[in-house]
Chains A and B, each alone.
Chain A
Amino acid sequence: MSYTQRRQFLWVLFLIGLALIAVVAQATTLARLRFQELVHYSYSIARVRCLHAESRVENGEIWTDTSFRVLVHNKGYLPEEIVVRQPGGKFQHLHSHVEGAPEFLPGEEVYLFLSGQPGHQFLITGWAQGTFRIHRNLRSGGETVTQDSAETPVFDLASESFTKAGVKNLSIDVFEQRVHREMLREME
């Protein structure tokens, strides 16, 4: 391939890239929840560690109840151990799959924004939007959180615009301060 051809090809790719970005700007949406809405809609917010998951049938549907140990309370009262319900799971030879429902591995630590009340199973507010995975830097020991839905631009109904806003690689301290700030704002 000649230099000229290579340049042309790179330009074509660049333009395709711009076109794709335009597509995203028009076509990528969720019913986005702002951070303060997530805090507002959630009965509780906590740092939890996944213990185990179990599927069960209730009202004719398969659900997965994941047990978590509560490590840190940020909002609301939670017992030491909670159960979070997700649609889908495996029961005998049936596999019920609901795309987009977050899944957790035993031992994994996450922050969850939870809907529901103690005594019942909790739900994760906005599914991926209310799930914040914790990453530990093995070298520095520092921890950061990334929102499951933060990777892609989403549509904000309130501002009627797209935004890539979301929590990504935010240090734990800053994240908790942000939660605390939104809770204070909620009480005002």
Chain B
Amino acid sequence: MQTSLRQFASIAITLLLILWSVVTAQGYAFNEIVPDVRQPGGVSGGSACPVPSHQLTSAAAIAFRWSTMLGTNPKTIITQNQTASDGLNEIEQVIQQSLAVWSSVSGTALTSASVAPLVRGSAANLCGSDGINSICFDQPDMAFTPGVLAFTRVITADQIGIQLGSGSPSTQVGQILDADIYFNPSDSLVSFSTPTALGANPKSYDLESILTHELGHALGFSHSAVWSAMMFPFAPAPGTFTGMRPTAQQPDAPLADDDRTGLRVLYHDPADTQFIGSIQGRIFPANPLSLPVSPPGVSGVFGAHVVAVDASSGSVIAGTLGGWNCQAPGPVQFDGTYKIGALAVNHNYKIYAEPLNGAVGPSEVANALVSLCRNSTTDPGWPPLQSCVVPQPGIEFTTATRSSP
């Protein structure tokens, strides 16, 4: 890999110019949470390093129920089957297929065995902070405004032993206690079609694509800036769908490599032997004086897109938001470090870095940035030695590649 990097050093800037408007790869990102180190180490882990939100993956640990109450005025969910019961079966099949998209990715601890059988509920308002993951198609929510199609509320805890509703107490920091998916039920301009109904309803959004995206949030993903990724912030156009349709041979076909790599990082399978490669490094400004003065201690570029491209296929394998590093007991150090893990071994990769001033700006990954630190301003009584302040992302730089020593 290093040889490959050296070979491309001379043309890196040229490539970057091409990739600048194309790759736009902040890549997969996770909903991070900093453990509450004010609590005893036994329940917080004692480290202020961010932990990605995640579901448990033991047998049937990921359970979803869905509301069979569908809006009729306006009608927002469109199925090919017209009878009520067949229509519900069709929707349920879409939900199962969307879950299978994620649970069929190879090299992760998240498998089909992790997903419990779907449960139906007849109430419209199944979604709520009750410790049960739910999908709702006809539940109004104050958060909906024009232009918002669907969203997912993900609730995590910053220490173990926290219980939400009827759920079990958390056993891990960052464990997702509840994830509820809301589809906009009240916008007369918005409807969602199952894959079989989409062709006849080209002004409708693809239910499967949007649900698969929202399930990504329910598994702990934030948005990705890779355009082909399932976790790209914007849903596919009405009448179209993301990626390819899942098949029996490739149930994860709708996902991009960026999604798969993210899932492998988030749900690491210790038995996997294929996706165990990683690339890491640091990004420095040519002029150290360009580093922010405040907060103190920033020693590298923060907030750059760093992306790994497969050298032979040219496809974006994964990206990350670079610029920070954390070793227990924390806090995060803003030293320009990036690390891309869960890469297939025996492949060559090229690494590109670009500032957050392309197709995705800092505001769109704000949560991935601001959630890295806690301090006495955000949390009274926070220990000073484990405090940090997130600097402004460095967006005014160009890049050049330096050979590895």
Expressed in whole angstroms, the minimum distance between the Cβ of B336 and any Cβ of chain A is 22
Contact A151 B360 (CB under 8 A): yes
Contact A60 B128 (CB under 8 A): yes
In the docked arrangement, what's the CA distance between A127 and B148, Å?
7
Contact B157 A29 (CB under 8 A): no
Indicate whether A99 sits within 8 Å of B152 (C-beta atoms), given known contacts A152-B359, A157-B238.
yes
Interface residue ranges of B307-321 to A (CB < 8 Å): 314-315
Contact B151 A87 (CB under 8 A): yes
Determine the residue in chain A with the shortest Cβ distance to B209: A27
In the docked arrangement, what's the CA distance between A1 and B133, Å?
52
Interface residue ranges of A146-185 to B (CB < 8 Å): 146, 148, 151-152, 154-155, 157, 160, 162
Chain B neighbourhood of A98, CB < 8 A? 143, 151-154
B23 part of interface (Cβ distance < 8 Å): yes
Q: List 5 A-B contacts (CB under 8 A).
A: A13-B15, A21-B22, A60-B128, A129-B147, A157-B203
Indicate whether A152 sits within 8 Å of B360 (C-beta atoms), given known contacts A32-B147, A97-B154, A98-B151.
yes
Contact B190 A31 (CB under 8 A): yes
Expressed in whole angstroms, the minimum distance between the Cβ of B39 and any Cβ of chain A is 8
Binding site for A on B (CB under 8 A): 7-8, 11, 14-15, 18-19, 21-23, 31, 33, 36, 53, 128-130, 141-143, 145-149, 151-159, 162, 164, 177, 187, 189-190, 203, 205, 217, 222-223, 227-228, 232-238, 240, 242, 314-315, 358-361, 363-364, 366-367, 370
Q: A13-B18, A31-B148, A146-B361 are in contact. List 9 more A-B contacts (CB 8 A).
A: A13-B314, A30-B149, A31-B189, A33-B147, A99-B31, A126-B147, A127-B147, A127-B148, A130-B145
Contact B238 A125 (CB under 8 A): no
A94 part of interface (Cβ distance < 8 Å): yes
In the docked arrangement, what's the CA distance between A104 and B227, Å?
26
In the docked arrangement, what's the CA distance between A37 and B146, Å?
9
Expressed in whole angstroms, the minimum distance between the Cβ of A66 and any Cβ of chain B is 13
Chain B neighbourhood of A24, CB < 8 A? 227
Expressed in whole angstroms, the minimum distance between the Cβ of B256 and any Cβ of chain A is 9
Contact A17 B19 (CB under 8 A): yes
Chain A neighbourhood of B22, CB < 8 A? 13, 16-17, 20-21
Interface residue ranges of A20-51 to B (CB < 8 Å): 20-21, 23-24, 26-33, 37, 41
Q: Which of B19, B129, B205, B363 contacts A148 (CB 8 A)?
A: B363
Interface residue ranges of A57-100 to B (CB < 8 Å): 60-62, 85-88, 93-100
Determine the residue in chain B with the shortest Cβ distance to A13: B18
In the docked arrangement, what's the CA distance between A102 and B158, Å?
22
Contact B129 A93 (CB under 8 A): no
Indicate whether A100 sits within 8 Å of B151 (C-beta atoms), given known contacts A27-B240, A28-B232, A95-B33.
yes
Indicate whether A128 sits within 8 Å of B234 (C-beta atoms), given known contacts A10-B18, A95-B157.
no
Chain A neighbourhood of B233, CB < 8 A? 99-100, 152
Indicate whether A61 sits within 8 Å of B153 (C-beta atoms), given known contacts A10-B18, A23-B228, A29-B234.
yes
In the docked arrangement, what's the CA distance between A46 and B349, Å?
48
In the docked arrangement, what's the CA distance between A62 and B141, Å?
13
Chain A neighbourhood of B36, CB < 8 A? 93
Contact A93 B145 (CB under 8 A): no
Contact A151 B361 (CB under 8 A): yes
Chain A neighbourhood of B187, CB < 8 A? 31
Chain B neighbourhood of A157, CB < 8 A? 189, 203, 238
Contact B146 A31 (CB under 8 A): yes
Contact A88 B153 (CB under 8 A): yes
Contact A31 B217 (CB under 8 A): no
Chain A neighbourhood of B33, CB < 8 A? 95
Chain A neighbourhood of B155, CB < 8 A? 62, 94-97
Chain B neighbourhood of A87, CB < 8 A? 141-143, 151, 153
Q: Which 6 pairs from chain A and chain B are nearest by CB?
A: A126-B147, A17-B22, A87-B143, A155-B237, A29-B237, A27-B236
Q: Which of B143, B159, B222, B238 contacts A29 (CB 8 A)?
A: B238
Contact B153 A20 (CB under 8 A): no
Contact A12 B314 (CB under 8 A): yes
In the docked arrangement, what's the CA distance between A133 and B366, Å?
13
A6 part of interface (Cβ distance < 8 Å): yes
Indicate whether A152 sits within 8 Å of B234 (C-beta atoms), given known contacts A13-B314, A60-B129, A99-B222.
yes
Chain A neighbourhood of B358, CB < 8 A? 151
Determine the residue in chain A with the shortest Cβ distance to B189: A157
In the docked arrangement, what's the CA distance between A101 and B144, Å?
11
In the docked arrangement, what's the CA distance between A176 and B126, Å?
43
Chain A neighbourhood of B7, CB < 8 A? 1
In the docked arrangement, what's the CA distance between A128 and B234, Å?
11
Contact A10 B15 (CB under 8 A): yes
Determine the residue in chain B with the shortest Cβ distance to A158: B189
Expressed in whole angstroms, the minimum distance between the Cβ of A96 and any Cβ of chain B is 5
A131 part of interface (Cβ distance < 8 Å): yes
Chain B neighbourhood of A151, CB < 8 A? 358-361, 364
Expressed in whole angstroms, the minimum distance between the Cβ of A140 and any Cβ of chain B is 15
Contact B238 A94 (CB under 8 A): no
Contact B367 A103 (CB under 8 A): yes
In the docked arrangement, what's the CA distance between A97 and B145, Å?
18
Expressed in whole angstroms, the minimum distance between the Cβ of B351 and any Cβ of chain A is 14
In the docked arrangement, what's the CA distance between A124 and B232, Å?
22
Chain A neighbourhood of B149, CB < 8 A? 30-31
Chain A neighbourhood of B129, CB < 8 A? 60-62, 94, 96
